[in-house]
């Protein structure tokens, strides 16, 4: 793996994410995108409501997960390909990818992960990375 942050359209996604972070009240946006957490032994699921017209970026998953669009229609790009999907939609999401989504309608998106961690902070630390550098360290044990 070599410099994931520079592959495909990923630089554009990262630049757009930085502009969004600088331009919008993050707490107000979090209030609009209600996130629910679900756990059973060995499995963690997170469901997020995304209102129509909202642009969102995801964290970088450290491992494969299952992504489910349970409600709505969303445009999604991962830096290399773009798709428009409508519920019900299920896919296996590969690790090490930054995604950008645009909710064409109100959407509910669910991701399902394998983990033995029980506390939300521990789960997020294990399963996702905020940056590609963090991903490389967590998954490969070395910086980019």
40 Cβ contact list (under 8 Å, min separation 6): none
Unique residue bearing structure tokens 């359209």: 9
Q: Which of 13-17, 27-31, 53-57 has the least mean pLDDT?
A: 27-31
> Which among 81, 107, 103 is positioned nearest to 93, based on CA atoms?
81
- pLDDT tier at 28, thresholds 50, 70, 90: low
Alpha-carbon gap, residue 59 to 93, rounded angstroms:
12
pTM for the model = 0.79
Tens digit of each residue's pLDDT (9 = 90 or more) over 67-93: 999 999 999 988 778 899 999 999 999
103 Cβ contact list (under 8 Å, min separation 6): 50, 51, 52, 53, 54, 55, 56, 72, 73, 74
Tokens found for residue 140? 């490969």
The SS3 of residue 127 is helix
CATH topology of domain 4-140: Jelly Rolls (2.60.120)
> Which among 139, 122, 99, 118 is positioned nearest to 14, based on CA atoms?
99
């Amino acid at each position: 793996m070599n410099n994931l942050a520079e592959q495909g359209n990923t630089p554009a996604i990262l630049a757009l994410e930085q502009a969004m972070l600088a331009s919008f009240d993050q707490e107000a946006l979090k209030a609009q995108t209600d996130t629910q957490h679900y756990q059973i032994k060995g499995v963690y699921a997170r469901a997020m409501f995304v209102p129509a017209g909202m642009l969102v970026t995801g964290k970088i998953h450290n491992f494969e997960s299952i992504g489910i669009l349970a409600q709505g229609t969303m445009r999604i790009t991962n830096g290399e390909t773009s798709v428009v999907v409508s519920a019900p939609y299920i896919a296996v999401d590969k690790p090490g990818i930054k995604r950008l989504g645009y909710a064409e309608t109100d959407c509910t998106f669910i991701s399902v992960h394998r983990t033995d961690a029980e506390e939300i902070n521990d789960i997020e630390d294990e399963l996702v990375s905020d940056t590609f550098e963090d991903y490389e360290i967590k998954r490969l044990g070395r910086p980019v």
